[in-house]
Amino acid sequence: MNFKRARNPEQRAERRRAILRTAAAMLTEMPVADVSLNELSRRVGLAKSNVLNYFDSREAVLLELSGSELTAWVQDLSAALSEVSPQLPSAERGELLITAVVGTLGKRPVLCDLISAQAAVLERNITTETALAFKRSAAVAYQEMIAVVAGVLPELGREGAGRFIATATLLAGAVWTHSHPVPAILAAYEADPALEAIRMNFEPSLTDGLRTLLYGAMPRDQGR
């Protein structure tokens, strides 16, 4: 696509949306590490210098995408848990929560990849203004996630729900990275079947990790 010069706020907003849409499409084809500003600029039909008129950097584009994906995931999680009965035993509600977290994250590979790269990649090479916008958006999403988790498991309380969801998100990013290794590691697994014992698969590994995390956070008389 080739854009004419943006001359008003609406046109500038559309340029930003086009850049974000293009970056999102690229992330369905390649990991975060392979998304370059040169290729993004080429696909969106703007010079690299023009893309930088709308975003501080490649990282700023991806960080804004991460915020949008996080907001959408919270909605997914809330919908998945909307019919959980408070009359069920806490252990059963806990399992439903874990299943919903893992299932909804598994359907958002772009979000998982962005989470895995957030601290080490996305939060570098950005301005304070960009950082503030992202962290404020993330804080809103975090409070909404706490409300969802505490709604399913009031036994945790808001503080416990907050600890659970914050650590669960970090865990999801780590598990995603290790369960989607580079080609050389995949080849090593295929070459030596004995290595299967240390191979990580996203959904079962995250389920096990969240189960340990959740029941460690539950009051001792409620986690059974």
Question: Regarding the domain with residue range 1-54, which homologous superfamily does it belong to in the CATH classification?
Answer: Homeodomain-like (1.10.10.60)
Residue 151 near residue 165 (C-beta atoms within 8 A):
no
Q: Where are the domains of the chain?
A: 1-54, 57-217
Q: Which one-letter DSSP state was computed for residue 9? A: H
- Cβ contacts of 143-147, under 8 Å, gap ≥ 24: 144/74, 144/78, 145/74, 145/77
Q: What pLDDT is attached to residue 223?
A: 43
Calculate the average pLDDT of the chain: 91
pLDDT tens, position by position, 32-57: 999 999 999 999 999 999 999 999 99
Q: What is the CATH number of domain 57-217?
A: 1.10.357.10
Task: Compute the Cα dihedral for 201, 204, 207, 212 and give only its sign.
Answer: negative
| Span of 110-119, 151-160, 214-223 with lowest mean pLDDT | 214-223
Do 1-54 and 57-217 fold alike per CATH?
no
| Cα angle, residue 192 at apex, residues 187 and 193 outer, rounded to 5° | 110
